[in-house]
Structures are given as structure tokens and as C-alpha cells.
Structure 1
Amino acid sequence: MNISNIAVQLYTLREYCKTEADLEQTLKKVANIGYQAIQVSGIGPIAPEKVKELADAAGLRICATHVSLDALLQDFDQTVQKHKLWNCRYVGLGSLPDENRTSAEGYTSFARIAGEIGQRLKEHDLQFIYHNHQFEYQKFEGRTGMDILQQETDPAVVGFELDTYWVHVGGVNPVDAIHQVKGRMGVVHLKDLEIVNYEQVFAEIGEGNLNFKAIIEACREIGVEWYVVEQDECRRDPFESLSISFRNLQQFL
């Protein structure tokens, strides 16, 4: 990990990315913090060409995205074109449909769909990546949903974008989970967890309880390319939260 491959997940700043003017100011602030890349997710209905223009103007690379399953199934060509325009290899899916979450058969069915999408994207030199939450770690006859997704997809076409917070909430050591996707994870979501008034809450990197020294080392060992900072909810100004995370990550450079 170095400064140039630490990115911001724009979902963290979704309330500040609704219009072109919002996005322009937001990207300038992100760059001023010191970030050099972004993951596009949760922004308003802004033309891809404009997103590219504003990112370039701020000196930010687009390293990855989150797109909807409908975009991948119904608007595949446009999705490919957008990623090519952005020079963005990693096409992320933030979650699987609700109906696939409740059984082994549901995960197996989604694994087949993910494989088909991943193969089509690979033909365009793009990489499909799947982002987890906690529910993928429910067990079905001895296997978690994540086990099924990993075991029943082709590593060459289906990658993963592990989220350190949600892996931990799912009852798995993030370091162990990272090693399990060796060769399949070019993008990781870094997110800390803190306990406040008996409740688990999202925290800035280094301000919570996750062992980021071990997490970053594991990511290095498996060859992670992009380290993306995300915080679903912030208890202070989100730009301040992103600044704290960026500053605390410096100790691992």
C-alpha cells in the first residue's frame, strides 16, 4: 500500500454527490485531503463523461465502481462503455438480491449468474468483484454463503471486494478472510468498528478495534491493488472522518 493506491468510496459522501456542482466540490475536497483515487458509488444521475471530466480535473483516478445487478444484466454494453471511459477495470456489485440470501440454493444460483457476468466482463478486459456484508456468513448445512460464492465460481472471472467491518460482524477474522481470497481480490474496503454505548458502530480507520496492522499486511501478502476507505455512517463531518482515516493509514505506508 502506498498513498497513490488509497481511495475513497464515494458512497461515504453520497449526500455531497447528488449534482454536478456537488460532485465537483466533493472531489476537490477529497483530493485536498490527499487521496488520489475514488470508487464511484452512490452518486446522483450525472453523465459518465462529466464524472470523468470532474475526476480528471481533481487529479483523481477512478479505481472501481459499484453498479446495480440490473445494469450488469440489462445495460451491459453501456456499463462496459462507462468503465472503459473511466479507465476503470474493477466492476463491483455491492450485494446480491434478497431472494438469494436465505438458502444454499439461492447462493448457488447467484454464483452461476456472477460467473456469467464475470466471463462477459473478462472478454472486455474488465474484472467483476463482489462486495460482502455480514449476511453472507450465515451457514447452510455447514457452509457459509461466502463459502458457496468462493467455491462455486471461477477465480478467473469472479473476484471479491472484502469489507473488513462486515467480515468481522459476520464472525470471521478479516485476516483469515483476506487470505481465503488470495488471487481473487484487487480491491479491499477498509472500515473500522467501534463499540459505543454497547452498540457496534462504524469508525474511522485506526479509531476502532480492528487490527489494521495485520489487515494491511495480509492485503499486501495477497497482492491487493486498491485500498478503499469507506464509512457507511459518520458521527462527525464525513470529510473529517475521511481525513482521520487517511492520516491514520499513513503509519502503514
Structure 2
Amino acid sequence: MGLKVGIQLFSVRRSLKKEPFQTLEKIAKAGYKYIEAANHDALDDDGVGFGVSSREMRKALNDFGLSIVGCHVNPLTIERLPAILDYHQEIGNKQIGCDIEFYPYRDMDYLLRRCEFFNQVGELCKERGMRYYYHNHYQEFQKFDDKSVYEIIMENTDPNLVFIEMDTYWIMRGGEDPIKLMEKYKDRLVLLHQKDFPKESPQPIVMYNGIIDANREITYPLFEETKNPLCFIEVGTGIMPIQEIINTAAKAPNLEYILLEQDHTQLNEIESIQQSMKGFQKYTGVEKK
């Protein structure tokens, strides 16, 4: 059948802020059937991040023929988790994920405490018949001696409680091979993020090659400051080995969805996601719209 092509709503965040329901309709018209939300206001918003009730969201999904397959929750706290899980169960979402994490470099105690927190979140999700997953950026590929932060997370979280959503772009920009990492952790892989890197770019591919010191503590402001918008391009127009990524993803037993996440674009957001959908359709191993 092939991987199902979906979209992380962060790709159209400006459009959603202006006109949420019209934007969901445009997403559906572009050929996307599966969405992952991004709630960056989880202290106040139980849901998908743009202030709509579960009833309104469920109706919109039904009206536009969309299914929700995940949601980033930020900040993620134990206290807020019951209300958030209630909302997502009401709209048919079976899994939530970690949005972005920043670790003080060389603070292993903090990292291990976060791993225990992830296990706790995973257990609470499992009790509801849901799943919790971890999403990476490039900072997880900083190292404590000979191990990356990512490896330490994988080793210190329960594979039955903490699953993973790999962002192949950020793995590559962290200096790792996304193909090899997908093969290594294929049993825990439940969602895949895909974007593309331009043939001509103002930065080298690997962030640690002259952009930022691999030993430096990476904070959110620093992450935003060093993330160049010109280093993102629509799927199928750059240099990432997307066909090989899809071929490898097909071997992951728990993976159904490959999701566009367009952090930045030089196009209109809707034009950008339309172009990426056309790009996805060029590859074998994906479900055709």
C-alpha cells in the first residue's frame, strides 16, 4: 500500500492563525488526508494549538475528510496531561509527542531525569490506550563522551512506553545518517517527518560544521537564531535522499505515515504544501492521493 502522506500543521501555522478552518479545508484540497497538530500553548489550550473546542475540531475533521494522527504538546506537564489526553481522545487522536527539548550540555543528571519523565508520560498515555513519541531536532546529536543525547534517550526510556518520530532533515543536520538511524530504531518508529535541503544553501548541511560549536549549550533562542530559513525547500526539490528514506521506512513495522513539516518557505504557505505534495507523488512507496 505504501506510506500515507500527511502534514504537520506547523507547516501552515501563519495561515491557521488567521483562518483555521479555511486552512484545514485548503490542506484537504491539496491532497493531504492525515494531519499532525502542534500545540505550543499547552498550558492553556487542551487541544491542537489554535483555540478550538474538541467538538469544533471533530466536525472540521469530518467535514474535510481529515484524520489526526498525532500532536506535539508544548510545554508538556504531568498536571496538564489528563485534560490534553481527554481532548485528543474526543477527536480520535491516538498519540501525542514531544515538540522540542533543550539539554544543558554535560548535565547527564538532567537528561536522565527527562528520560524518566518521558517514561512517566508514556505510561499515562498507555493507560488511555494511547502512545507517546519523541521528536528530534539537531541538538540531540551532541555527545556525552562517545554517546549522543539521542542514544542516551533511547537507552534510558522504555521502548514500550516511548516511541519516536524521526525528523530526517534534523538528523542529517545533526551530522548523523537518517537511514542508519531509522534501521537501528525501526521498531520504535511511529511517525516520520520529511522536508528537504536546497542544492544551494547559505549554510553547510551539518550544523556543527562552523555554524555552532558542538559542545555549546543550545537554548531555544540560539536554535532560532542559527536556523536559516533559506536552508529549507519543498519536498523533492532538494538534495535529501528521500526515495531511500521511504524505502527504509517501509521496513519499520509500526510506521504508517510520512509527514511534511515545512519549517520555512519562500512561497505562500499553501503553495508550498501543494508543491511538496506533488513532490511526494514522484516517489514510489507512498500512497497516491
1:25 maps onto 2:55 in alignment: no
After TM superposition, list the pairs within 5 Å mapping 1:68-217 onto structure 2: 68-70=74-76, 72-96=77-101, 98-99=102-103, 102-199=106-203, 201-217=231-247
Given residue 240 of structure 1, which amino acid in structure 2 is its aligned partner? E
Question: After the TM superposition, which of the residue ranges 152-161 and 240-249 deviates more from structure 2?
Answer: 240-249
Q: CA deviation at 1:173?
A: 0.9
Give the SS at the match of 2:238.
coil
| Identical positions, percent | 25
Which residue number corresponds to residue 6 of structure 2? 7
Structure 2: gaps spanning 5 or more residues: 40-48, 205-230
Provide, for residues 71-108 of structure 1, a one-character-per-residue CA deviation record: whole Å limited to 9, x for no partner: x4121211111121121112111112x35555333221
CA RMSD across the alignment: 1.7
Give the SS at the match of 1:82.
helix
Given residue 104 of structure 1, which amino acid in structure 2 is its aligned partner? M
Counterpart among 242, 265, 268 of residue 234 in structure 1? 265
Distance 2:155 2:233 in 1: 32
Contact 2:15/2:269 (<8 A) preserved: no
Provide, for residues 139-173 of structure 1, a one-character-per-residue CA deviation record: whole Å limited to 9, x for no partner: 00111000001011110000110101100000011
Provide, for residues 190-235 of structure 1, a one-character-per-residue CA deviation record: whole Å limited to 9, x for no partner: 1111143533601111111110111001111113111111110111
Question: How many correspondences in the alignment?
Answer: 248
Give the SS at the match of 1:207.
coil
Contact 1:17/1:44 (<8 A) preserved: yes
Distance 1:10 1:136 in 2: 23
When normalised by structure 1's length, the TM-score is 0.92
> Which has the larger share of helix?
1
When normalised by structure 2's length, the TM-score is 0.81
Q: CA deviation at 1:39?
A: 0.7
Which residue number corresponds to residue 46 of structure 2? none
